[in-house]
Amino acid sequence: MKFLTLSAGIALGLFAQIGWTTHLFSLLVPALGPQPAALAMGLATASAIAGRTLVGWVMPADADRRVVACASYAVQIAGSIVFILAAGASAPLLLLGVVLFGAGIGNATSLPPLIAQVEFPKDHVPRVVALTIAVAQAAYAFAPASFGLISPLRTDSLPLVSKIYWRQSADDAIMYAP
C-alpha cells in the first residue's frame, strides 16, 4: 500500500503541476503582457528553488516526510486559490499565486525519494524510486495535452485550470497522508 500511495501521489502531483505550468504563460499574458508573464515564469522557478531549499533547511531528519509533502501541496493549493481569486485581472494576486505555486514545484520531485528512504528497506529504495518515477512520467506525459483539451471548454479557462490543479493537488495530499 505504501508503494501505491507514493506512486499515485507523485503521479497526480506532477500531472497537475506540469499541466498547470505548461499553460501558465498563456494564463498570465492577458493580465501582465508577454514580457512580464515571462518574468513571472522565472519567478515560479526562483520560488521552486527557494521552496526546496527551505524544506531542506527546516525539515528535521525524523520528520514524517509525507506530512511535509502534504504541506508543500497545501502551499500550492493556496497559490491556486489566490490565482483563482485574481480572476485573471489582479497582477499582484497573480504574482502571489505564482510564488506560492512555485514554492512547491521542486518538492514534488525531491520528497518522494526521501519518503522511500524511510519507508522501504535500504536495498529496495533504488527500485522503488525508479518505479515511482516511471509511473509519474507515464502519467504526466499527458498533462499538457489534457489541460490543453479542457481549456477551450470555457472562456474563462484561468479559473478552470486552477480549479483542476487544486482538485488534483487535494487528491495528491490525501494520497500522501500518513
User: What is residue 55's predicted lDDT score, i.e. its pLDDT?
Assistant: 95
89 band by pLDDT with thresholds 50, 70 and 90? confident
User: What is residue 26's predicted lDDT score, i.e. its pLDDT?
Assistant: 85
Given a contact cutoff of 8 angstroms between Cβ atoms, the answer to whether 40 and 32 are in contact is yes
Q: What is the pLDDT of residues 102-134, one digit of tens each?
A: 999 989 889 999 999 999 999 999 999 999 999
User: What is residue 66's predicted lDDT score, i.e. its pLDDT?
Assistant: 92
User: What is residue 169's predicted lDDT score, i.e. its pLDDT?
Assistant: 56
Task: Tally the C-alpha atoms within 13 A of residue 83's C-alpha that lie toward its C-beta.
Answer: 31
**CATH number of 108's domain:** 1.20.1250.20
Q: What is the pLDDT of residues 21-78, one digit of tens each?
A: 888 888 899 899 999 999 999 999 999 999 999 999 999 999 999 999 999 999 998 9
C-alpha 27, offset from chain centre: 17
Phi and psi angles of residue 61, each rounded to the nearest 5 degrees, phi first: -60, -30
Q: What is the pLDDT of residues 147-170, one digit of tens each?
A: 777 766 554 545 555 555 555 555
- pLDDT score of 174 more than 70: no
Q: Fill in the amino acid letter for 131.
A: L
Nearest CA-CA partner of 4 in 106, 166, 112, 95:
112
In the block, residue with C-alpha cell 515564469: 41
91: domain range?
Answer: 2-176
The predicted model scores a pTM of: 0.79
Count of the separate structural domains present in the chain: 1
- pLDDT score of 94 more than 80: yes
88 band by pLDDT with thresholds 50, 70 and 90? confident
User: What is residue 148's predicted lDDT score, i.e. its pLDDT?
Assistant: 78
User: What is residue 165's predicted lDDT score, i.e. its pLDDT?
Assistant: 55
